[in-house]
Structure formats: structure tokens, C-alpha cells
Chain A
Amino acid sequence: MRSGLGRAGRLALFGLGGFAVLAVGAAAGLWAQAWDVPVGRPYMSPGTDAWLGTDALGYDLLAQVVQGARVSLVAGVGGAVGAVAVGGALGAWAGLRGGWTDRLLSGATDAFAAVPPVVALLAMALALGPGVATVVVAIAATQWTGVFRAARAEGQRLRAADFYRAAQAMGAGTLHQIGWHVIPALRPVLLSALVVLFAHAVKVEALLAYLGASAPELPSWGKLLARSGSELARGVWWPTLAASAPLALLVLCAQVLADRSGRRPD
């Protein structure tokens, strides 16, 4: 898979790695620690003192942006992994079992999918209180239905495959079946779902932060964006840029990677 990424795909992977390094360094206290103390006058334009300028309270925007990568990455990875794990497991189960298991699980999934995502997201955010964990759970809970369908289709295909039936007939145990047949069969579908959902989850986190339902203790790009709209109208453009550029770049990297990895080498 790695070899089929192409130049743009490798560049995107490199970009995602860069964001990860930024976030880990910020979390470990290596850099960007001065995000919650004023470093200068309010609304300093970008310059040598503060590379991305300062916000309404004189806080350094660059430090906030770097710290914001933490929340975005955790929400993106956590939400995507959660959704893929739940959707993949249930979907594979439904597809492989068939019969009433399939009917019940598919029906329940359809019912879940009928809840508008906005309603589910906001209701969960309210029920669990603001925080990164809330965002992860909310994203996973609303996004798993799509993964379920893909995994179910793959499971059905596997169920009809000769080699799988042969393995069953030879008395392969459940663990062997999962390890040797189910996981390899599902891997391409789940991996591409993972990247697509990561991109989506990052955007959803920004939206929830914008609405005030994300981590209250850390700066996040969505929160920066929420404040920047009115500032933009007064000609203060750098908070908008500082918040939107990394968000767009991160999602772009994931999106390009998803496009490249989803492509079949034909």
C-alpha cells in the first residue's frame, strides 16, 4: 500500500507526521508553552515578536495554534479509530453470520443512521459535558454506520469465498479465522475508512469547539475560529489565518492520503 501512494501521498503522510511531532512536542512541554500568558499588546500583527501575531488578550497565536494541534489530532485519531473499531467489528459480524444476526444489526444500524448527525453530536456533547473525550465519543458514535455497511459487504463477500468455507470445513478456530481471513480481507476497507474519518473528525472537532463543546482547558482551532469572525470584520485578519490555515492543511493532508491509498493499483 505504501508504495502506491505516489509523490503527493508521501508528501501528505510527511505532513501528518509533522503535525504529530508538533502536537507531541507541545504536549511534552518542549515548545509553545507560552500560550496562556500575555506576551505583548493585544492584536499585534505578525512580526518578529510574535510570528502569527497576538489575539485580543495579547496571547501569542502561534503557541495557541501549536497547542491546538493536540486537541485536533487526538479527536481525529480517537474518533476515527473508535468509529472504525465499532463499525468494522459489528459489520464483519453481521456480514459473516448472515441470517437474523445480520437483519437485526442492519436494522439497528439503519435506525442509528436515521438520527441526524448534528442532533446526535450536540446531544452527546451536552450529555457528557465539554471535553476531548466527549468529542471522541460523539464522533465515533455518529460515524460508525458508514463503516458498518462497508465491512458488512466485505464480510458477505468473504462468507461466500471458497477458501473461507474450506477453512471452516477444516475446522479452523474462531481466532484463526479472524486473524488469517477476516482481518486481511477487511484491512483495505478499514484503512481507507480510517483516513477519511480522520479528516472528517478533525473538522467535526473544530465545529464542536466552535459551538463550545470541545476541550475547555486547551486552545483549539475551532475555538480560535469562533472568536476570529468578528475580528476579521475589523480588519484583524491574522487570528482567522492562524486558526484556519493549519486546520485546512491537516485535513488536506489526510484527504490526499485517503485519495491515494484508496486507489487500486491497476
Chain B
Amino acid sequence: MSSRRASIPWPAVLRRLVVAAASLALVAALVFVTFEWLADPAALRLGRGASQEAREALRAAMGLDRSFGTRLLEHVVRAMTFDFGVSQVRGGPAGPLMLQALGPTLAYALPGWLLGTAAAVFGGLAAARRRRADRALLALSTAVISTSSVIVVVLAQHVLAHRLGWFPVLGWPLAGGASPLAYVMLPALVWALLQWGPDVRHYRAVFERELAAPHLDGLRGRGVPERRVERHVLRAAVGPIVARIGQRLSHVVVGSVVIEELFNISGLGALLVAAIHEADAALVQAIAVATAAVTIAGQALCDGVVWLVDPRVRRRDVA
């Protein structure tokens, strides 16, 4: 391990920034084109019975009579500065509406994400090391992956909440007899289980590869205790683990449409479904661009963490 501090690779950072900006622009443009293709905002606002003249007048007032390219450009630039405009359906700026819904989503998704990740990392390590654990964990993971999230949520709600009564069935705005924590627990557990299924396989593959690394035999040959060898394994596996965690981060922000629907949580996933059904362009744009931004930022953050932890990446021994 060299203690030499490598300098920050500025060209790579710069390239990432350019790609990030381009990605955001593309996301904004995609949403804009989708909604443009879908329906005329003026017609949507006036409803079916509106006359042609009224629609033309509103189009002019909304600035829709300008050329497509101009509007696209203006729209993308505004979205990139996180100015999403006013939600026509809900009457209010889209940004705050979205932030309001983020709280409930994070309340269950964040604990679920942490729990699922921890369980998957340790499950993956156990599966890679012990044959019997491997069989059991893989079978469970296959069962979880094979079951649609809809089924998992319905069954969990029915069995754990309805039948056994371990949790309150559902209840959001956080009120009522039970403590707020109780309402969050079951959605968080379901989230953790759904995430655990595919993740444990991923981590198992990572650890399997790391445990077969020749330098571990060298360590054992010199009489390094198994606990310390484990630390070497964990450290070498940081890259793939962090990359996976980063991928999951974007899911945490959108939340789960199914969980929010079935537990009646007014979070971002539920808001997204509602906004899409109501053709609320500003709100969809806000959610899409913001989540894309979080995805990109999370990815960059993870790369940064790996760069800090893994000296091989710093010295460019591995890509």
C-alpha cells in the first residue's frame, strides 16, 4: 500500500462533468419530446369542448406557437438549472411538490436500502465461504427474484400484518395509535427483501472471485489469522460493492411504485404515477431530471469512494 498521494485525475473529472451535463440534457429532452408528441398542453388545459380560437389564443399566451427547436432548447436549459415550471394540474411549482413527496419515500426506502445492502453483503460473504449456506441462500434468492414485487408486497401485507398482526397494515400520514416507526417498518422490510434477492447473488460472485485471489494464500501461508484475511477480502471487494450500492441509490430516490401504492404512502413513486396519468409534464420533468441528477451524482460519489479506498484504481492498475 503506497502512502503516496495520487493527484486527482482532472481530465477524467472533466469528462465526467461533460457526460453528466449531456445526460441531464438528454433526459430533459426525452421527457419534453414525449409529452410534446403525446398531447397539446393548451388542449389539455382547456379540455375537450374548447374552440379552435380559444386554443390558438392559449397557445400563443403559453408561447407554444414558437418553433419546436426554440421551445426544446429553452425547456432543456430551464430543466438543467432545476427550474421545472409550474405544475398545470396541481397548481404550484413542480420542484417543491416533488421535494414534499421525497420525505415519505426516503422514510421507508432508506432504512430498507441499508438493511438490504447489509444483509446482502454478509449473505454473499457467507455464501461464498460455506457450501451449506450457499445452497440455502441461493435458493432463497432465486425464490425472491422469481416472485413479482406485487406478489411479495401483497403476501407480506396479508400474512405479516393481517394474519399475524405484527405490523399495522397501512397508514400514512404518520398518525394514529401506533408510533410512526411501526408504519415504516413493514414497507422497509419488504424493500430490503426485494433488494436482497438479486444483490446477494451479485455480492456472492464478487466474494467468490476475491476469495480465490492468490495473495490470500500467501497471507494464510504466513500464518495471518483468518479474521485479518477477511479484512483483506472486504477491502479488495469495495469497488464492486460500492458500484452496486451506487446503482441502488437511484432506486431509493424514486421509491417503489408498488410499495407506495399498496401501503398508501404518498411518496415520489405514487406522485410519479399520478403525474403521468394526469399528463402533468412539469412534474414528470421535475422527477425525471432530479432522479437522473441523483443517479449521476451517486455514481460519481461511488467512483470517488472507490478511488479513495482502492489504491489499485488510483494507480490505474485496474480500470
- Whether, in the assembled complex, A45 has its beta carbon less than 8 Å from a beta carbon of chain B, the answer is no
- Determine how close the nearest CB of chain B comes to the CB of A189; give it in whole angstroms: 16
* CB neighbours of B155 from chain A (8 A): 240, 244
* CB neighbours of A225 from chain B (8 A): 148, 150-151, 154
Report how far A206 CA is from B273 CA in the complex, Å: 16
Task: Report yes or no: B288 in contact with A115, Cβ–Cβ below 8 A.
Answer: yes
Chain B interface size band reads 35 or more
Instruction: Name which of B46-54, B177-185, B223-231, B290-298 contacts chain A.
Output: B290-298
Report how far A111 CA is from B277 CA in the complex, Å: 25
Task: Report yes or no: B250 in contact with A206, Cβ–Cβ below 8 A.
Answer: no
* CB neighbours of B34 from chain A (8 A): 123-124, 126-127
Do A203 and B149 form a contact, CB below 8 Å, given A127-B37, A232-B154?
yes
- Whether, in the assembled complex, A255 has its beta carbon less than 8 Å from a beta carbon of chain B, the answer is yes
- Whether, in the assembled complex, A53 has its beta carbon less than 8 Å from a beta carbon of chain B, the answer is no
Minimum CB distance partner of B292 in chain A: A114
- Determine how close the nearest CB of chain A comes to the CB of B22; give it in whole angstroms: 6
Task: Report yes or no: A119 in contact with B254, Cβ–Cβ below 8 A.
Answer: yes
Q: Which of B273-318 contact A (CB under 8 A)?
A: 273, 276-277, 279, 284, 287-288, 291-292, 295-296
* CB neighbours of B23 from chain A (8 A): 107, 110-111, 114
Instruction: Name which of A63-71, A161-169, A246-254 contacts chain B.
Output: A246-254
- Whether, in the assembled complex, A199 has its beta carbon less than 8 Å from a beta carbon of chain B, the answer is yes
Minimum CB distance partner of B154 in chain A: A229
* CB neighbours of B110 from chain A (8 A): none
Do A110 and B19 form a contact, CB below 8 Å, given A118-B257, A119-B291, A123-B34?
yes
Report how far A129 CA is from B277 CA in the complex, Å: 11
- Per-position binary interface string of chain B over residues 36-67, scored 1 when its CB falls under 8 Å from any chain A CB and 0 otherwise: 01100000000000000000000000000000
Instruction: Name which of B6-14, B25-33, B88-96, B127-135 contacts chain A.
Output: B25-33
* CB neighbours of B26 from chain A (8 A): 108, 111-112
Task: Report yes or no: A116 in contact with B145, Cβ–Cβ below 8 A.
Answer: no
- Whether, in the assembled complex, B100 has its beta carbon less than 8 Å from a beta carbon of chain A, the answer is no
Minimum CB distance partner of B149 in chain A: A207
- Per-position binary interface string of chain A over residues 80-110, scored 1 when its CB falls under 8 Å from any chain B CB and 0 otherwise: 0000000000000000000000000001101
Task: Give the residue of B147, B150, B272 whose beta carbon is less than 8 angstroms from that of A210.
Answer: B150
Report how far A126 CA is from B280 CA in the complex, Å: 12
- Determine how close the nearest CB of chain B comes to the CB of A187; give it in whole angstroms: 21
- Whether, in the assembled complex, A143 has its beta carbon less than 8 Å from a beta carbon of chain B, the answer is no
Q: Which of B116-152 contact A (CB under 8 A)?
A: 142-143, 145-151
Task: Report yes or no: A122 in contact with B272, Cβ–Cβ below 8 A.
Answer: yes
* CB neighbours of B143 from chain A (8 A): 252
Report how far A108 CA is from B27 CA in the complex, Å: 11
Minimum CB distance partner of A123 in chain B: B34
Task: Report yes or no: A119 in contact with B37, Cβ–Cβ below 8 A.
Answer: no
- Whether, in the assembled complex, A228 has its beta carbon less than 8 Å from a beta carbon of chain B, the answer is yes
Task: Report yes or no: B148 in contact with A211, Cβ–Cβ below 8 A.
Answer: no
Report how far A26 CA is from B26 CA in the complex, Å: 43
* CB neighbours of A244 from chain B (8 A): 147-148, 151, 154-155
Task: Report yes or no: B258 in contact with A122, Cβ–Cβ below 8 A.
Answer: no
- Whether, in the assembled complex, B158 has its beta carbon less than 8 Å from a beta carbon of chain A, the answer is yes
Report how far A197 CA is from B157 CA in the complex, Å: 28
Report how far A229 CA is from B276 CA in the complex, Å: 23
- Whether, in the assembled complex, A37 has its beta carbon less than 8 Å from a beta carbon of chain B, the answer is no
Task: Report yes or no: A233 in contact with B162, Cβ–Cβ below 8 A.
Answer: yes
Do A114 and B296 form a contact, CB below 8 Å, given A228-B154, A244-B151?
yes
Task: Give the residue of B31, B142, B284, B295 whose beta carbon is less than 8 angstroms from that of A255.
Answer: B142
Q: 11 interchain pairs (CB within 8 A)?
A: A107-B23, A116-B250, A116-B292, A119-B254, A119-B291, A123-B284, A211-B261, A229-B262, A244-B148, A247-B151, A248-B148
Top-8 shortest CB links A-B: A111-B23, A252-B146, A111-B26, A244-B151, A251-B146, A114-B292, A114-B23, A116-B291
